[in-house]
Structure 1
Amino acid sequence: MSDLTTTATREERLNRPSGIRSLWLGDTKVSYVPDGDARLRPSALLPDTTDEVWAARPEYLDPEGRLVASVGALLVEHGGRALLIDAGVGPQTLRAPDGPIAEIHGGALPDSLAELGLAPGDIEAVALTHLHSDHIGWAVHPVPGGDRPLFTRAEYLITAPEWDRIDLLTGEGTTERVAALAPRVRTLDDGQEIFPGVHVRIAPGHTVGHAEYVVTGGGRRLIAFGDAAHSPVQIDRPDWSSAFDHDLARTAVHRRRLVAELAEPDTIGFGVHFADAPFGHVRATGDGQTWHPVDA
């Protein structure tokens, strides 16, 4: 496994959003597909932190003191076929005067796919980690200037427990839009193979049916862990749960197991919100562990 970063460049990448990044697992290509980015209020996102915590970790923050998060999707290509994991936030910009999200915007995903040589019609399925609005954007928002969906032939893959509780989306205001996907939804069971070399595993905590996707190839595996962690800082402090987690304690327990798993040989993690370090590996450092970007 190649680690292409020095400490200096790693720190630079923690406070900027990611562009397209790709790596190969044998004959399978995986790519981060940008849709946009978010600026988050760090202590509001991670309620167990304080201003003093962030003063000691300035490398994670932009000049305004906000945590930088990427927003996008994971493209999996194998044998001329294409799967997308998550669907960005879609063609919208949202701002809030308080709470964890200061600003979030999307809309770049179609252009990002084009840069990777694909059209939306090439995507055979969109596998969702969960049903929060920054992961389902292009599934529920029509293409700007029209009323057609972006993915004209894709089915939507959602874990059965997540789909069974779409009523919990009331606070996000997306229940009706998500429900409208029903004719194209296929529900998933734990351990199911959804694409060559791609298996789902249900890891509740962030949401009731939150999914992770494990991609294997070339003697390596990649774990796309959705919102089990929102920032690389949680790798060092897996006890810090997010304000968006449905079950904070359960998510922390799972995250501790996940961090240990990501430190295993030939294992790569994919953190969709992990700034400009979406692909990484966990390394032990002194009295803890850190996220190290991996790009090839």
Structure 2
Amino acid sequence: MTTLQNERLRRPAGIRSIRLGDTKVSYVPDGDVRLRPLQLLPDTTDEVWAAHPEYLDATGHLVGSVGGLLVEHGGRALLIDTGFGPQEFGMPDGPLGAIHGGALLAGLAELGRSPEDIEAVAFTHLHSDHLGWACHPAPGGARPALAHAEYLISEAEWERRDLLEEQGMAEQAAALAPHVRTITDGEEVFPGVRARITPGHTVGHAEYVITGGGRRLIAFGDAVHSPIQIDHPDWSSAFDHDPARTAGHRRRLVAELSEPGTIGFGVHFADVVFGHVRQDGTGPAWHPVDS
């Protein structure tokens, strides 16, 4: 990557949009996350991170984005994931250093959309940094900001919502329940948008493949947390439910993202959320795409 691109690896993403023919796809930031690299990717070492300081901020944390993906087509709007919501959280040890959200509604407004414009929310999985505004009210409101929309969740993920309750998220599960419609592998959930069920990070993790204008974009959720995993797909995250299964899927995904006309979207990547994979010297590498 260039010096400018390296700088982008140390800051969270702002609003970024690309076009796929008649479909516009925009990253809508909600906040950011700071992660402890050795704990997030247990197969890495101090030597790995010493060789890749471009990924770390001044405090030695891996910088990630938190937000959603707005898909607009023919006046209609779909949102994939909803950020963390108006809250913040941190832990003294473990992978998660700090996370905060709250900006997604302002980002939608900047893109000319209100929450009421969103006809459906398609979730990649049921972790709190993806459920945010589906469970939290807008300022001054009583209902969740997106409660008017359908909540699209893979069948396998929703069947195991007991895992949410085990994690102390019974309230979030209850907030989601009245709005849920389960979806299956290959189902078209919006014009040009198909679900692809890819268990590993969670039991029913979903990706969304968006096609238009002769190109396709794969919103791969938490199958990959950082661009460094593109170079090293065997490095699974501490948050992965099944690390071996996720690593196998990630190897296939990296090969797919190398194909012509294919773009990836990494919701937790730093300011390089859209990109594609090129073979650079010793192996694959993530290259940002901004239009």
Find 1:241's aligned residue among 218, 229, 236: 236
**Offset at residue 206 of structure 1 (A):** 0.2
- Please list, as runs of the form range in 1=range in 2, the aligned pairs for 1:55-134 lying within 5 A after superposition: 55-134=50-129
Contact 2:135 2:145 in 1 (8 A): no
Residue 252 of structure 1: SS of its match in structure 2?
Answer: helix
Residue 227 of structure 1: SS of its match in structure 2?
Answer: helix
Q: Is 1:170 paired with 2:154?
A: no
Q: Structure 1 CA distance, aligned partners of 2:52 and 2:139?
A: 39
Q: Structure 2 CA distance, aligned partners of 1:41 and 1:172?
A: 21
Change beyond 3 A, Cα 1:152–1:183: closer
Find 2:17's aligned residue among 7, 19, 22: 22
Q: Structure 2 CA distance, aligned partners of 1:146 and 1:212?
A: 31
Q: Structure 2 CA distance, aligned partners of 1:168 and 1:259?
A: 29
Q: Structure 2 CA distance, aligned partners of 1:145 and 1:179?
A: 21
Q: Structure 1 CA distance, aligned partners of 2:88 and 2:184?
A: 34
CA deviations over 1:92-123 (Å, ceiling 9, x no partner): 01011001010000000000000000000000
Contact 1:121 1:152 in 2 (8 A): no
Q: Structure 2 CA distance, aligned partners of 1:270 and 1:171?
A: 30
Q: Structure 1 CA distance, aligned partners of 2:83 and 2:182?
A: 20
Residue 181 of structure 1: SS of its match in structure 2?
Answer: helix
Contact 1:166 1:179 in 2 (8 A): no
**Offset at residue 180 of structure 1 (A):** 3.2
- Percent identity between the aligned chains? 73
What is the one-letter code of the residue matched to 1:40? Answer: L
Contact 2:12 2:271 in 1 (8 A): yes
Q: Structure 2 CA distance, aligned partners of 1:171 and 1:249?
A: 23
5+ residue gaps, structure 1, are 1-5
5+ residue gaps, structure 2, are none
Contact 1:120 1:152 in 2 (8 A): no
What is the one-letter code of the residue matched to 1:267? Answer: T
**Offset at residue 145 of structure 1 (A):** 4.2
Contact 1:91 1:144 in 2 (8 A): no
Match of 2:267 in 1: 272
Q: Is 1:263 paired with 2:266?
A: no
Q: Structure 2 CA distance, aligned partners of 1:178 and 1:215?
A: 27
**Offset at residue 29 of structure 1 (A):** 0.1
Find 1:283's aligned residue among 273, 278, 291: 278
Q: Kindly report the root-mean-square deviation, in angstroms, between the aligned alpha carbons of the 2 structures.
A: 1.0
Contact 2:78 2:118 in 1 (8 A): yes
Equivalent pairs counted in the alignment come to 291
Contact 2:69 2:79 in 1 (8 A): yes
TM-score between the two structures when normalised by the length of structure 2: 0.98
More divergent stretch after superposition (253-262 vs 173-182)? 173-182
**Offset at residue 168 of structure 1 (A):** 1.3
Match of 2:136 in 1: 141
Contact 2:28 2:70 in 1 (8 A): yes
Match of 1:194 in 2: 189
Find 2:148's aligned residue among 131, 153, 157: 153
**Offset at residue 172 of structure 1 (A):** 3.2
Q: Is 1:224 paired with 2:203?
A: no
Residue 250 of structure 2: SS of its match in structure 1?
Answer: helix
TM-score between the two structures when normalised by the length of structure 1: 0.96
Q: Structure 2 CA distance, aligned partners of 1:39 and 1:105?
A: 9
